Structure 1
Amino acid sequence: MGPKICQVCNESQSKYKCPTCLVPYCSLPCFKKHKEIPCVKPATASSERNLTSFPVLQFERPLYVDEPSEVLQQLQLESIASSSEIRDALKDGELQKLIYNIACSPDAEDELDKAREVEAFCKFTDKILSTTNPQP
């Protein structure tokens, strides 16, 4: 294997790894940028078997947004990332499979429609919505 590239700027050779999630980075500015979103310690195979059953997805396809106002803001993303309720829900192997199928499908909208018929997926999306749009 050759030298690792910084996973923050994707330009320079990494010299360091995040002490929490082990993501390689090249400099203090990249480390600070990486830490803008809370990260978590990688799961081990023995303690988090379900989370390691699917490969990490790297998306190369462009993402298009019809309504820019519907894009989550930084604080909303941080709320999702720091929610123990959401992280616990993601340990469910069936939920992982539904999300994986949506992410990998050439017809993601069809897979999303199928997932909406599953109670666990509906509960999961409700948790995300309540986390990102708390009621006063």
Structure 2
Amino acid sequence: MECISCATITNKYKCSKCLAPYCSVNCYKKHKELPECAERSAAKQKTQPAKDVQEEEPTIYPPFSTDDTVPITLLQQLSHSEPLRQLLHNPHLRALLREIDVAHNANLAMAAAMQEPLFVEFANACLQVVEPMTDAEKEDLKLCS
């Protein structure tokens, strides 16, 4: 794909409004000031049917599944978890989640977050929804406590 501003071959970034590819911050700044960004965004919205579901973040990489990929149906169950709702009332936890979301090195950010007891509690609450413990695992946990 060619950068929308300088025509350099790139696959690094896409404009969040119109999904046009760009290669650097400078090219993005030039692009977003041009009326073609708004025009492409409007044209894109006209061609897409209205969705009730929140639109996914634009990405240049197609989703792929691994053994660790959680099915979307289980992820949607997270929104119905009362323990998660209670934890998310904590502003410190929300700030941690925002930091992880925008971190340049996600692995490093997750490793740092896992040092926080509140984040560990959040991660465990998520796991209880998407991968509940078996009876044998619960017994093992009782023995360790």
TM-score w.r.t. the length of structure 1 is 0.54
> Which residue, out of 104, 109, 127, partners 1:129?
127
> Which residue, out of 46, 49, 57, partners 1:12?
46
**Residue in structure 1 matched with residue 93 of structure 2 by the alignment:** 95
Root mean square deviation, CA, Å:
3.4
Partner Cα distance (1:64, 1:119) in 2: 34
Residue 66 of structure 1, CA deviation: 7.9
**Residue in structure 2 matched with residue 119 of structure 1 by the alignment:** 117
Residue 73 of structure 1, CA deviation: 0.9
Q: What are the residue-to-residue correspondences of 1:1-136 with 2, within 5 Å?
A: 11-12=45-46, 26=50, 30-31=51-52, 34=53, 59-62=57-60, 68-136=66-134
Q: Which amino acid aligns with 1:119?
A: P
Residue 74 of structure 1, CA deviation: 2.6
3-state SS in 2 of match to 1:109? helix
How many pairs are equivalent? 94
Residue 118 of structure 1, CA deviation: 0.5
Residue 59 of structure 1, CA deviation: 4.8
More helix by share: 2
Aligned residues with identical type, % of pairs: 14
Q: Which amino acid aligns with 1:12?
A: K
Residue deviations 1:70-108 (CA, integer Å, cap 9, x gap) = 111132112211112112211111111111111111112
Partner Cα distance (2:78, 2:59) in 1: 24
TM-score w.r.t. the length of structure 2 is 0.51
Change (3 A) 1:135 1:80: same
Q: Which amino acid aligns with 2:119?
A: F
Q: Which amino acid aligns with 1:89?
A: L
Partner Cα distance (1:81, 1:99) in 2: 16
Partner Cα distance (1:113, 1:64) in 2: 26
